[in-house]
Structures are given as C-alpha cells and as structure tokens.
Structure 1
Amino acid sequence: MTPTASPALPDLPALDPTPDIRLIAVDMDGTLLDAEDRIHPTLWPLLAELDRRGIVFCPASGRQYANLAARFEGVGDDVVFIAENGAYVSRGGEEVSSAVVEDGVVGRVVETVRALAASGADVGVVVCGKRSAYIERHDAPFVAECDTYYAELERVDDLLLVHDDVLKIAVFDFGSAEATTAPALAPFRATHQVVVSGAHWVDVMDATTDKGAALRQVQAALGVTRAQTMAFGDYLNDLELLDAAEYSFAMAEAHPAVIERARYLAPSNQANGVVRTIAAVLAIPWSGLEAGVRAG
C-alpha cells in the first residue's frame, strides 16, 4: 500500500493544540483495519513516535490475543492488548487480567446455537479459550471466517467436551446477527454480557466484561486518567470503550449508536482515519510518517 499525503480532516474538532494524551485505545475491524484486513503502513512510524513521547498504544478488539500479537509482531512489547472484547488483557506477553465464563453457561450457549442452527439459521459457534479457540462446525466458509480472527483455532467434534478457561463464546451468523442471533441469546443478558460485535458476530461474556472495563484497568495500572485517553471504535462492542476516554472518536461509517455516543468523528477506516486523526491531534507531521514508511 503506497502512502499518500494526508488530506484535511474536516470532521476534526477544535481541540487543545497540545492535549496531554498518555493512552490511545483502538478497535481493529472497521476502525484500524481497512476492508481488506490491512494495517496502513503509516501506523508503524506513528507507533515509534508515540513510544518516543511516552504514549501507550492499545489495540482493543474482539479478536483473540494470539491474533493481535501476530498482527503487532515486533512491537508487541510496546503495546497493551485488550483481546476478546475485554476478557483478556496482556502487556509484554504477560497476562494482566482475564475473566472466564462458567462451564455451565458455555454449555447452554452452545446448545442454544445448535438449536438455532437446527431451526434453519446459518450460524456457528466459537468457544474462545485461553489456550485456543474451538469450533465444531468445519465447513470451509465458516472456518474461513474464524481464521480471520483466531490464530489459534482447533477443530473438535463436540464443543461440550472442550477443557479450557473460556473467555468468550462468539457466534457467527451468515445473515444478520442483530436480527437473528442476538434475540436468540437475549435470555443470557440477565446474567452475562451479550453484545453484537459486528454485522455477523454476537459475543457472550462474563457480566463484568467489556472493552471499557478493560481500558479502565489499563488506565489504573498505568496511572493514566480518562482525560489523558483517546479511543476509536465503530461498532456496538466499542460503546463502553469510548465512554472510558475523554477523546472518543467514532469512525465515519460507524454504527449510528456509536456515532451518537462518541464525542468526535474520525474519517473512515478506508481513509486511514485512525492514524490521520492521531497525527492531527498530536501535531505529528504527516511527512515524517511517510518518511518513516520509506525508510522502513
């Protein structure tokens, strides 16, 4: 991908020219990544500049930790990872915190999805453990969707026989997750987090788990305040993440509820909106980022 000059940011608000930002949390899909699942090359010199300024970068995603670590190979020790929608937080390759789902609940969710599939819905379930993610649906289209988000993925015959610390149960719906899968899992909302994390994904997690709770843990560990935090997101699983940051940005093509909740609007992920906005807010010369790409 060839970098180009950064155009003006018409949606960038009037901010303090030198805000005291110490932590930047960024969703991945629909936010940092483009539609082809790529990271713009200007991110890497940006991360080097953030590190020089003492600003911590924090990918905050529904993706598995192993997937995130692979995407940031070589710079992973310099970032904090919020994985599995907040159920797993890691820094420097070491677990900071985690929240597991009880085995009985895992079983009930799996059985609910099996019944939904038997009724005709084109759905499949992923049990997301600390060691690996697990699937019992093995057809190529479903496996391809899972491979995008799970670097460690095991095919099993029966998800009810999996033995692992389960961080999240994710359900992929080839139709509309909001219309079909979310209503089927609604009974679990009384005791657990049930969040639509994408057009086709619904996640079930511990009741206290979300990206915002994880970000507040990171803030406390780093001694960073909400006023010193930026966050970017695009979908419903990012709402709490945005709430935990004073400088909260929805992507231009975000879910309407996210745009309403965020304080500011950033250009779309297709326009490298995260990197462009960070550079503009922190007065990082775009020419320097492009020079960093050429030097790399």
Structure 2
Amino acid sequence: MQGFEADAGLASVKLVASDMDCTLLADDGSMPSNMPELIGALADAGVTFCAASGRPLYTLRAMFGDYVDRMALLSDNGAAIWCAGELVFKDLIDVATYHELIDFTLADGRGCPVVCGIESGYLRTCDRVHDAFFRRFFTEITYLDDLDSLDADVNKYTVYFPEGDSEEVFARTYRDAWAGRFSVTTAGPEWIDFMNPHVDKGRGIKRLCDHLGISTADALALGDTYNDVQMLEAVGHSYVVANAGEHMRAHARFMAPSNNERGVARVIEALLAAKAR
C-alpha cells in the first residue's frame, strides 16, 4: 500500500472526511492541537472538512465548538448531516421498529441498548454504571427506568458490549437476524450500530457531495474500521491510518500515519501544500 505522499491528485480535493475514534482522535481521545487552524485553512482554500462518525450530532457539535460552522458533520454513521450551520439531512427509525431492536437486545442479554435520538441518547438507569464511558460519546444522556414508553425522534440504535466482544456477537447473532432490514455494522469492539438500510457513511458522503455540488471523485476520506468501509469505497481519495486493522487495507488506496502520529493532520497539511503550489 502506498504512503499518503504518493497521492498526486491532492490539489483537486474539495472535501476531506475523517472518522473520529482511532482516526482523527489519538488513543487518549485528543484531537490534533492545530485542527481549528487546519479547518479554517481548508475552508479558505475552498475545501470542506467533515467529521464522519458514529457519534451523535450534538456530541460532534460540542467537540468542534466555535469552528463547527465552517465545516460539515456526518453523524450517526450518516443518519444526520450538518453543513455550515444547517441540518441538511436526517433519517429516522420508526418507534415500533426501534422497540423491536430494544427487545431483541434485552432478550439476548449480552449488551446495553442505547437509543440514539436527535436530541439525546436514551439508556436504562441500570446501565448508568457505564456512565463514564458513555459520556465519551454522548454529551446528552437521558436515563429512564425502562425504555418501554420511549417515543422520540431516533436516527440510530446501538448496542454497547462492556466485554468488548461486539464483532463475535455481531457475527453469531445480530448479522443474520437484522442485516436484511437494517444497515448494521460494528464500530469498534464495544459497539454494534443499526441505521435504516439506506444509511451508512458512504451514502452520507454522497449526500454531502450532492449538497456541496461536487463529485465524490474529488472527495478524500480517512478511516480505520468496519463502519468506514463504505465511505472509503465511495471517494476518489481513500486512506486508512496506520493503526487500522490489516483487513482495512483492501478498502483504501493510501496509508496515512497513525492516529497517535496525527495522520489526519499530516494529510491535510500535504493537501494544503499541494493547493498552494
């Protein structure tokens, strides 16, 4: 696999989309210190930066703070898209259907149901024991004694596996039960994510490109794990970070330095240098 320096077409890029956990964010959860300046420099060069994540929209907005209106957010694996201060797309799971998913998770007994609403994440009070971990991903959490009466606008359903065995559970139980009705993916060892069948990061990037009036051939994406595959395959410039699993290399053309080496920032710096030539 070629290194990121081998991408000769960087000057044509008009959209940079990056996964968050284990891609943009280091293992300690920190963002490159110069990201505000890089996002601003990209915007000044006519390039949109997009954080493409399984995290909810309100969490991403809080993470990017004052410069969020100069960029795009693809949240909940593409179930909501925010661009330049405006919500341009949302896709909701109907109430009866997400209650089916809750019931399935509870009957299986191995994971914690997390109902991802537009305004809040909804969890059972008995799962508050994991609150410190949940707060890394959900800045707004509503705890309920049970989820039986929940009736909220929901665009993703996810299951948290405290034992870190999501990939095994997905392969043995969830994939065959639900893949025909949902876009289902693991998002690291702790999560299985459910979106409506026409929702994933790849379709999200295509929707964002349509909104921006650009071609996916002029989009660049960086990722590290399974829920990034469709996004990497949708764009003209596909990168995995060096810390990604070996299986991810089949889905990208170039390799960026690892998340701890601030690989996303280094690719953006190379892009800006190519634009300046």
| 1:222 counterpart = 2:221 | no
- 1:267-282 equivalence runs, <5 A: 267-282=257-272
- 1:47-196 equivalence runs, <5 A: 47-117=39-109, 121=110, 123-175=111-163, 176-186=165-175, 187-196=177-186
In structure 1, give the amino acid aligned to 2:97: V
Does the 8 Å CA contact 1:24/1:55 hold for their aligned counterparts? yes
Name the SS for the 2:23 alignment partner: helix
Q: Which runs of 5+ in 1 are unaligned?
A: 1-9, 286-296
Query: For residues 88 and 17 of structure 1, what CA distance do their matches in structure 2 show?
Result: 29
Distance 1:250 1:100, change over 3 A: same
Query: For residues 192 and 53 of structure 1, what CA distance do their matches in structure 2 show?
Result: 38
How far the C-alpha of 1:254 sits from its partner, in A, is: 1.0
Query: For residues 157 and 125 of structure 2, what CA distance do their matches in structure 1 show?
Result: 14
Q: Deviations over 1:148-201 (max 9, x none)?
A: 111111001121211111111111112210112453222111111110011110
Does the 8 Å CA contact 1:251/1:259 hold for their aligned counterparts? no
**Sequence identity (%):** 30
Moved more, 183-192 or 72-81: 183-192
Q: Which runs of 5+ in 2 are unaligned?
A: none
In structure 1, give the amino acid aligned to 2:174: L
Q: Deviations over 1:43-72 (max 9, x none)?
A: 222112111101100000000101100011
- 1:207-218 equivalence runs, <5 A: 207-218=197-208
Does the 8 Å CA contact 2:40/2:70 hold for their aligned counterparts? no
Q: Deviations over 1:91-136 (max 9, x none)?
A: 233221111112222111111111222xxx3x21110011211001
Query: For residues 15 and 270 of structure 1, what CA distance do their matches in structure 2 show?
Result: 21
Does the 8 Å CA contact 1:17/1:283 hold for their aligned counterparts? no
Distance 1:27 1:155, change over 3 A: same
| 1:263 counterpart = 2:250 | no
Query: For residues 107 and 213 of structure 1, what CA distance do their matches in structure 2 show?
Result: 25
Moved more, 178-187 or 163-172: 178-187
In structure 1, give the amino acid aligned to 2:75: A
Name the SS for the 1:34 alignment partner: coil
| 1:236 counterpart = 2:221 | no
Name the SS for the 1:16 alignment partner: coil
Query: For residues 141 and 177 of structure 1, what CA distance do their matches in structure 2 show?
Result: 19
Query: Which structure has the bigger radius of gyration?
Result: 1
Query: For residues 218 and 87 of structure 1, what CA distance do their matches in structure 2 show?
Result: 12
In structure 1, give the amino acid aligned to 2:76: E
Query: For residues 54 and 98 of structure 1, what CA distance do their matches in structure 2 show?
Result: 25
Query: For residues 39 and 98 of structure 2, what CA distance do their matches in structure 1 show?
Result: 38
- TM-score normalised by the chain length of structure 1: 0.87
Query: For residues 245 and 40 of structure 1, what CA distance do their matches in structure 2 show?
Result: 24
Query: For residues 137 and 98 of structure 2, what CA distance do their matches in structure 1 show?
Result: 20
Query: For residues 141 and 240 of structure 2, what CA distance do their matches in structure 1 show?
Result: 31
How far the C-alpha of 1:39 sits from its partner, in A, is: 0.5
Aligned structure 1 segments of 4 or more residues deviating by more than 6 angstroms: none
